[in-house]
Amino acid sequence: MSLFLLQLRGELWKLFARKRTYIGFGVFLGVETLFLVLCQIPFGQRGLRRLVEQYGGVFEQYFSGLTVAMIMLTMTLFFLGALFLGLVGGDLIAKEVEDGTMRMTLCRPVSRLRVLRVKYATCVIYTFTLVIFVGLSALGAAMLMRGAGGLFLVIMHEKLPVFYDFGPGLVRYLASLLFFALSLLTIATFSFTLSCCNMKPATATISAVALFFVDWIVFFFPILEAYRPWTMHQYMSTWLNVFRNPLPWPQMLEDYGYLIGLDATFFVIGAIIFSTRDFKS
Amino acid sequence: MIALHNLKKAWRGKPALHGLSFEVRKGEVFGLLGHNGAGKSTTLGILLGQVFPDGGEALIGGVSVQRERARALAKTGAIFEAPRFYDYLSGWRNLEIYTSYSARVPRAQIAEAVETVGLTARIQDKVGTYSQGMRQRLGLAQALLPANEVILLDEPTNGLDPEGIHEMRLLIKKLNHERGLTVVFCSHLLVEVEQLCDHVVILNQGRKIFDGRWAELATDRRQVRLEVDDWPRAAALLSESAGVSVVEPGVIALEEKCATADLVARLVGGGVRVSAVEPQRRNLEQIYLALTHNGAAPQA
């Protein structure tokens, strides 16, 4: 095992041995359970029924495990996910500085950039783990409750309905998890960058989440449509393109190229700040 | 082994170090003494590359910390006043995590370090269950790994009970004698530095006010407290003696050439009854005052 992997293993031990890391997982399970219960009530089904029928679908065919899982995924992860990724991203550096463990690490003959690289790799792994966990647990629970069936969703900001049979729908759903994680990585990276500054972990988290929501408001509200191309959500929402047929690869490559560039920029800014600051109790 | 050249550092415009220079020889137990805010931690931070100096350079083993930090610190370990660990992980896991940032350290080497600091029985327990003394010993174990030759200790006995302080002191001495470790020991406690270190640098407000062997400082001006039945008469007799000066009523300072026994004999011969003679330990404040008021010019 290379030294980088050895260090990464240590960072993952730290992250996944901590109780607060699992708060996110636990909250998602709770929200999913609540959502499933609400879906069983006719009143809770009314909105979805209206939407499916409005776009010409048969409600009974598309009120399936896949559709319910998809709704849970988008509703919970987009908002709660941002919060928890902001929390973990903000903790990775700032919490260690606050606790004094960063100074212990920086006693070692290791460059600060290496420390950041290892921690950022941890951040990426956590982001993908969280999204995949939420996606699979939502799918498992929804399938148990509603069984197999077609997938229905509406790409909201374009008002674009999407219908799939179970097989292709499942493939698209599973693929979307990876793209969704890649989109959400931007918010985790931004929080990580703030955490490299001389600030409390909570400040880094709150600032990152606040930016996320301001960005979402600008993106979503029609009155601010002129500013939409300048928002991160314009590019982050490209994960929904996985459900288009055919897949708009050029568009997705462009959008993910932009997001990865943004992540790289955030990382470089964080690295410059982290590498030039003094650490002293 | 360690050399500091003209280190300067200011925090938000307020100078913390004014061109500090000193050297530490290999295998030496070196004491960096000073009150809180004297510049000890800043100096240590610069030595570890955690603080960037405004001027000057720190060298470990001839390698510049500022230019080649990783190479300079390759054989250097450190602990701070309260070593911080991941409380929710075991002591062993903590050691694995910290040492992974230095090199791949074999399990046997970690076990040896744990054995050296006497933590074998509890090393698989979570650090959150450790006492302060155990944390300090774990801190020392991580500072020893992997096969470090220099250890920097910043107030390592803070928060320890007297027994813990004694144990820590013995451990540091043992490591110095058996492994030939170079130890830099920062403290504001005179007695600690006195018992551990042979070479001392004293800092005051970011300036070096003493740099030398502990013995030079200790024998510079001994102080003795006298209990006598007639102090004015005793003071008059003492003032006639060369090398003796009165610090305050009941306390005198002796130059090296003066023997306490001779003075007592003179007082008794002069009709003064002496009921107690007690060598005085000067505190840091008094040493500062002595050094700054008695011609020991602050050394840059």
Q: How much is the pLDDT for B298? A: 45
pLDDT score, position B244: 84
Contact B50 A278 (CB under 8 A): yes
pTM for this entry: 0.85
Q: Is the pLDDT of residue B220 over 70?
A: no
pLDDT band at A104 (very low <50, low <70, confident <90, very high): very high
The confidence score (pLDDT) of residue A77 equals 81
What is the pLDDT, as a whole number, of residue B214?
Answer: 75
> Band of the pLDDT at B295, cuts 50, 70, 90?
very low
What pLDDT does residue A95 have? 92
What is the rounded average pLDDT of the residues B262-282? 86
CB-CB contact of B169 with B196 (8 Å)? yes
CA distance A107 to chain B (A): 6
State the CB neighbour count (10 A cutoff) for residue B229: 11
Judged against a pLDDT cut of 70, whether residue B39 lies above it is answered with yes
Indicate the residue type of A200: K
Q: What is the ipTM of this complex?
A: 0.85
- Minimum mean pLDDT among A222-226, B210-214, B217-221, B278-282: which range? B217-221
pLDDT band at B300 (very low <50, low <70, confident <90, very high): very low
d(C-alpha A53, C-alpha B189), whole Å = 80
- A107 vs B contacts (CB less than 8 Å): 48, 50, 73, 76-78, 143, 152
Is any Cβ of chain A less than 8 angstroms from the Cβ of B74?
yes
Mean pLDDT taken over chain A: 90
Identify any residues that bridge with B254 across adjacent strands, giving them in sequence order. Answer: B222, B244
Residues 32..51 of B with a Cβ closer than 8 Å to A: which?
41-42, 45, 48-51
Query: Is the Cβ pair B100, A3 closer than 8 Å?
Result: yes
Q: Measured between CB atoms, which of A9, A13, A104 is closest to B89?
A: A13
What's the pLDDT tens digit per position in B234-250? 888 888 888 888 878 88
- The 3-state secondary structure of chain A, one letter per residue: CCHHHHHHHHHHHHHHCCCCHHHHHHHHHHHHHHHHHHHHCHHHHHHHHHHHHHCCCCHHHHCCHHHHHHHHHHHHHHHHHHHHHHHHHHHHHHHHHHHCHHHHHCCCCCCHHHHHHHHHHHHHHHHHHHHHHHHHHHHHHHHHHHCCCCEEEEEHHHCEEEEECHHHHHHHHHHHHHHHHHHHHHHHHHHHHHHCCCCCHHHHHHHHHHHHHHHHHHHHCHHHHHHHHHCCHHHHHHHHHHHCCCCCHHHHHHHHHHHHHHHHHHHHHHHHHHHHCCCCC
From the CA of B159, how many Å to the nearest CA of chain A?
16
**Tell me, what's the pLDDT at B43?**
94
Q: Confidence class of residue B209 from pLDDT cuts 50, 70 and 90?
A: confident
Taking alpha carbons only, the member of B43, B37, B35 closest to residue B19 is: B43
What confidence score (pLDDT) does residue A1 get?
Answer: 66
> CA angle, corner A44, sides to A40 and A47, nearest 5?
135
Q: Per-domain residue ranges for chain A? A: 2-276
pLDDT at res. A220: 84
Q: Do B101 and A19 touch (CB under 8 A)?
A: no
Residue B299 has pLDDT above 60, yes or no: no
pLDDT > 90 fraction of chain A, expressed in percent and rounded: 53
Worst-scoring range by mean pLDDT, A84-88, A192-196, B66-70?
Answer: A84-88
More confidently predicted of A160 and A206: A206
Q: Chain A contact for B156, CB < 8 A? A: no
Does A281 contact B80 at a Cβ distance shorter than 8 Å? yes
Poorest-confidence range of A24-28, A75-79, B196-200?
Answer: A75-79
* Closest Cβ opposite residue B88 in set A11, A18, A106: A18
Closest in B50, B52, B143 to A103, CB measured: B50
Give which of A4, A7, A108, A277 to mutate to test B binding, by max B Cβ within 10 Å: A108
pLDDT (mean) for A261-276: 96
Q: Give the mutation candidate from A3, A6, A107, A277 for the B interface (greatest B CB count, under 10 A).
A: A107
| pLDDT at B283 > cutoff 70 | no
Closest-CA distance of chain B to residue A142, Å: 35
Q: What gap in Å lies between CA A203 and CA A209, rounded to an integer?
A: 10
Residues 6+ apart with CB under 8 A from A190: A86, A89, A208, A211, A212, A266
Question: Which residues in chain B have Cβ-Cβ distances shorter than 8 Å to A17?
Answer: 86, 88-89, 93
Task: Write down the pLDDT at residue B219.
Answer: 57
Residue B148 in contact with partner chain A when CB distance is under 8 A: no
Nearest neighbour of A104 by CB, restricted to B41, B69, B83:
B83
Query: Does residue B218 register a pLDDT over 70?
Result: no
Calculate mean pLDDT across residues B267-286: 82
Q: Is the pLDDT of residue A273 over 90?
A: yes
| B52-64 tens-digit pLDDT | 999 999 999 999 9
Query: In terms of pLDDT, which residue wins out, B289 or A148?
Result: A148
Q: Is the pLDDT assigned to residue A62 strictly greater than 80?
A: yes
Helix axes A21-40, A42-54, angle to 10 degrees: 80
- The predicted-structure confidence for B150-201, as pLDDT tens digits, reads as follows 999 988 888 788 888 888 888 898 889 988 899 999 988 887 888 888 899 9
Q: What is the pLDDT of residues A184-200, one digit of tens each?
A: 999 999 999 999 999 89
